Chains A and B, each alone.
Chain A
Amino acid sequence: MNDFDLVRKNLFRRKLRASLMIVSILIAFMIFGVLAGFYRAFNAGEDRAAADRMITVNKINFTQPMPIAYFNRVKSVEGVRQVTFANWFGGYYQDPKNFIMALAIEPNTYFDVYRSEFEVAPDQLQAFMRDRGSAVVGESLAQKWGWKIGDRIPLNSNIFSQKSGGHTWDLTIAGIVKGKAEHVDTNFLLFQYPYFDETRSFGKDTIGWMILQTTSPENNDRVAKAIDAMFANSTAETSTDTEKAFGKAFAAQFGNIALIVLLVVGAAFVTILMIVGNTMALSIRERTREIGVLKTLGFSGPRILTMVLGESVLLALLGGIPGLAIAALIAMALRNSLANVAPAFSVSPTIALQGLGLMIALGLITGIIPALNAMRLRIATALGRG
């Protein structure tokens, strides 16, 4: 038998009490894991944003269009390496409830600008370029609907209509877009802007927004100023921002999600801190006499301190680790249904590591006062008590 056995036996001397504490710790860490994972996925756009990528939108608002002529003019601005554009389609599949994140894109440049995120097999990309009526579909969207290359998909718009009447565009899937990293969202459909522009009944020759890549992040400010100055006092003034700033502002539109997450996780932790802290204090008080006996046997004060802290940390780990594991399972189960809000929802290794840190902190905080009391306990007092 060693100290660890002693710690373990002490913890489980009251099995019911230990189990109840483990359950409450488990739930707190489950909430932490799910919310931290959600928050990370929700803000993934911001994390993922490339430093040298910028977005140009209409100054009125990013939902307002701008002339397609801007595309060529921005291309020639000094410091711009590549530029592409996209237009929101307002897509849905079969039923308006089945929202599809669909964009009409500039086919030649889009995958160049996003080359660090997305990957399309060369032959599929070529097929996409060749067929004006084709589309490429993100891997996770294709999975969701079981779409394969060659399938013909009737895509509806809740905004646009065809010149010929109707709101449906039939698109052939030419390729699958794969994400290059774990947190890249591939829940989208992209099709050719030229085809879209030709067939739609209004809004011709306008685009939604431009995505540009600068030659270096240092040039970002200068490029932004140059572009916005170029269109100043025109009917469609522009606003150019880094992708990160744009994503951050967009996420903030939903409300202060960070604050909500913080408050809920905070509430959960305050709860277990109190419950576990008080229970640890109680169980150490109950053992006063035994601690006195250990001391008479020659256990030093610091050693007893370590044993009590070990007990509270062990408790936190026994509750916390399964809690995070359950959070990971929940994230996996909710991944598809939350794909539009929080793509690639998961409990990442970073979150798991943070969780582990929190467990140790929780264990130390809840154990420290009883541990100090136990360390300072005088043998005579301990043994004198009934």
Chain B
Amino acid sequence: MRSLWLQVAAVTTINLKSIGQRRWLSLSTVIAIALVVIVLLAFLAMANGFQRTIAGSGADDIAIVLRAGSQAEINSTVSRDQVRLIEDGPGIARGSDGKPLISPELYLVVDGIKRSTKTKANLPLRGIGEQGSESRKGITITEGRMFNRGSNEVVVGKALLREFEGLDLGSTVSFGATRWNVVGIFESGGSVFESEIWADLNVVQSLFNRNNIVQTVRARLTGPAALNELKSYSDNDPRLKLDVKSEAAYFAEQASQTSDLIQKLGWPLAIAMALGAIAGALNTMYSSVASRATEIATLRAIGFGGFPAFVGTLAESLLLAAIGGLLGAAATYLIFDGVTASTLGGNFTQVVFDFKLSPWLIAEGVALALIVGLIGGLFPALRAARLPIVEGLYAN
């Protein structure tokens, strides 16, 4: 056993030390594998960042009420009577003044100008009720102040500032014929709300000719368990044809479509590229075996077994793959991690998010690299193990 281990170690050392003789071919394999990993990880980091932004927005003890079957806030309408009925519903938390923590909201799409392309893009302008920020979690004004009720003032989510022009604190923005003063910048722990513009519900309703129209209702619950109470209350009242969902569930649905799509693009592309890289790795490793044929045969003549030759070749291939995988992961981290991007989300408005790598994603990338190395090394390793000694001795 010890002897076998020593043989394997010796042959592996010989293999690894000989990489220098094929430095260009080996380097091209390493870079090919690194590129495969970069492509995969860039897509996965994009999907992950998007998912985290949206899914991270939802809380379990906040309910969102939409028109039954409307799927997204933008499609929903809720009548005034329905809002009043929800207000009286069970399980809704109350503020220090005894009022229910509930916010009727209007969700409008307005144009913003993207910094990167200078083209128009859809931004959400949300009119929120009196309890708008209390019925959400973790909202803080980082600069300026909250808008005053009844005035044409807005507060802007932090993420929008990075991606869109003309929304800085103190500036005036126009949406159609309406003018608004930016009086504050708010943060919400990286959630999707940071991609929104907020204003007073009544002002938005009147300036956009949507008097008395509300699209959704947000309600802070006494606890996650209260959701079912509110749900059954709504289901049992024929006047309320509404969907009551936890914010967490609502955003999870919204996030999954887009991030699934990104992943569905990323994996097939990465796998196709991995097949190309496997061809490259096979080529490199067959060359490695060919150029070491004499050495392998000499060792066999001395009395080494075929197994060490197999392991040595496989180890070389796996090492190249591991270097490529780590290189790719490091490059993705340096180039893409934290890069801000925005795309259309489930509500037909821009969602600003950051590419986000995670240890788990890096593990996926390195695993793909090692699979390339394993397959790319396996067949050449078998050839090395089976190389006829006489042929090998006189190969060169």
Contacts and interface: CB of A to CB of B under 8 A. Distances in A.
A253 B28 contact: no
B276 A255 contact: no
A202 B25 contact: no
A161 B38 CA distance: 47
A113 to B, nearest CB: 23
A236 interface: yes
A271 interface: yes
Contacts of B27: 274
A21 B176 contact: no
Interface string A333-355: 00000000000000000000000
A255 B341 contact: yes
B109 A275 contact: no
A21 B77 CA distance: 59
Q: Which of B121, B273, B396 has the most CB of A within 10 A?
A: B273
A27 B109 contact: no
Contact of A271 (B175, B276, B344, B396): B276
A90 B24 contact: no
Interface residues of A, number: 51
A158 B109 contact: no
Nearest to A341: B261
A20 to B, nearest CB: 4
B108 interface: yes
Interface in B250-300: 269, 272-273, 275-277, 279-280, 282-283, 286-287
Contact of A23 (B77, B209, B279, B341): B279
A279 B119 contact: no
Given A20-B282, A31-B269, A234 B177 contact: yes
B176 A23 contact: no
A335 to B, nearest CB: 16
Nearest to A257: B343
A277 B27 CA distance: 12
A159 B275 CA distance: 45
B128 to A, nearest CB: 18
A381 interface: no
B75 A17 contact: no
B275 A23 contact: yes
A252 B32 contact: no
Contacts of B71: 96, 158
A268 to B, nearest CB: 6
A66 to B, nearest CB: 10
Interface in A265-294: 267-268, 270-272, 274-275, 277-279, 281-282
A239 B35 CA distance: 44
B39 interface: yes
B12 interface: no
A63 B109 contact: yes
Contacts, number: 146
Contacts of A96: 69, 71
A282 B114 contact: no
Interface string A228-270: 0000111111010000000011001111100000011001101
Interface string A303-319: 00000000000000000
Nearest to A206: B209
Interface residues of B, number: 54
A96 B116 CA distance: 34
B72 to A, nearest CB: 8
A28 interface: yes
A268 B176 contact: no
Contacts of A219: none
Contacts of A300: none
A60 B280 contact: no
B39 A267 contact: yes
A233 B39 CA distance: 49
A271 B341 contact: no
Contact of B75 (A59, A158, A254): A158
B36 interface: yes
A63 B280 CA distance: 50
Nearest to A248: B119
A275 B122 contact: no
A271 B275 CA distance: 11
Q: Which of B32, B75, B110 has the most CB of A within 10 A?
A: B32
Contact of B77 (A202, A255, A275, A386): A202
Interface of B: 24-25, 27-29, 31-32, 35-36, 38-39, 42, 69-71, 74-75, 77, 108-111, 114, 116-117, 119-122, 175-178, 208-209, 269, 272-273, 275-277, 279-280, 282-283, 286-287, 341-344, 348, 350, 396
Interface of A: 16-17, 20-21, 23-24, 27-28, 30-31, 58-61, 63-64, 90, 96, 158-159, 167, 202, 232-237, 239, 248-249, 252-256, 263-264, 267-268, 270-272, 274-275, 277-279, 281-282, 386
Q: Which 4 A-B pairs have the closest CB atoms?
A: A274-B28, A275-B280, A60-B176, A24-B279
15 contacts: A23-B275, A27-B276, A31-B269, A31-B273, A60-B176, A60-B178, A61-B122, A63-B109, A64-B208, A233-B177, A249-B119, A252-B121, A254-B343, A268-B35, A277-B28
